[in-house]
Amino acid sequence: METPTGGRAAIYTDSKVTIDSLKNHAIHDFLIEKIRYIIRHLATLSWTIHLKWVKAHIGIEGNETADKLAKEAAQGNENIIIAFDRIPITSVASEINRKGLEQLQLQWNNAGAGAVCRSFFPYLVQRLKMNIPITPEFTALGTGHGKPRSYLHRFKLADDTMCLCNERQQTSDHIISDCNLFEAQRGPMINKIEDSEESWPPAKHELTTKYLHAFSIFVKSIDFQKLNRLVKYLELWCQVPTKRTSSE
């Protein structure tokens, strides 16, 4: 239905806060903005709107009725028909988004898999706002999947989980925090963190938020292909005599 033009309306409210908020242009509450928008829109259609404050509880019939309806609605009176079609579609959409995200967050918190990834990104809302330079290396370290030997071994793509440094299993944790093969690349990242008066290693999610820049440079410096090919080469080299013996 089209809004008629050139009308006049007087709105009486006992909410002084609402009237004051409408006048105060530093206030940008969703509902206040919505009311301003409607008033501006009506003004473009040559409407004149008067907003007036009335004292509460002094027997103004309309005001008493509005109070009564609001109270009943708040107490969950099922006989009141709530006009859902008057709720702005944007409010509904953001409410659905919020609820959906809450639900996802719950599932994320309780999921059996994805522990490594969760330690880097515990909060989904925060993750959605992040602008992260996602590369295969970043994904590998952030999830523990794809490239570290501990993962390759699970899928029989590596004979064991041992890192090339020969000290510990090659997990994403090991590469980031203590593999001596990456000492040089890790240095600037540690310096950056210690400059902020925090101790190394920080919580994982701090690497992807507070120290994202230094962490990204570190991640970029890791050449998994070279690392794993070198492992493969060393394995073959070690296996040559055994293989020869068995084939002879």
Question: With contact defined as beta carbons under 8 Å apart, do 179 and 163 qualify?
Answer: yes
**CB contact set of 44 (below 8 Å; sequence gap of 6+):** none
Residue with Cβ nearer Zn ion (21 or 148): 148
CB of 133 to Zn ion, least distance (A): 24
Is 231 an interacting residue with respect to Zn ion (CB under 5 A)?
A: no
Rounded Cα distance, 210 and 204, in Å: 10
Lay out the site mask for Zn ion across 162-181 (x = CB under 5 A, - = otherwise): -x-x-------------x--
Residue with Cβ nearer Zn ion (105 or 161): 161
Lay out the site mask for Zn ion across 145-164 (x = CB under 5 A, - = otherwise): ------------------x-
Rounded Cα distance, 173 and 113, in Å: 16
Lay out the site mask for Zn ion across 70-89 (x = CB under 5 A, - = otherwise): --------------------
Rounded Cα distance, 102 and 189, in Å: 33
Closest CA to 183 of 218, 156, 212, 215: 218
Which residues in this chain contact Zn ion in the complex, by CB under 5 A?
Answer: 163, 165, 179
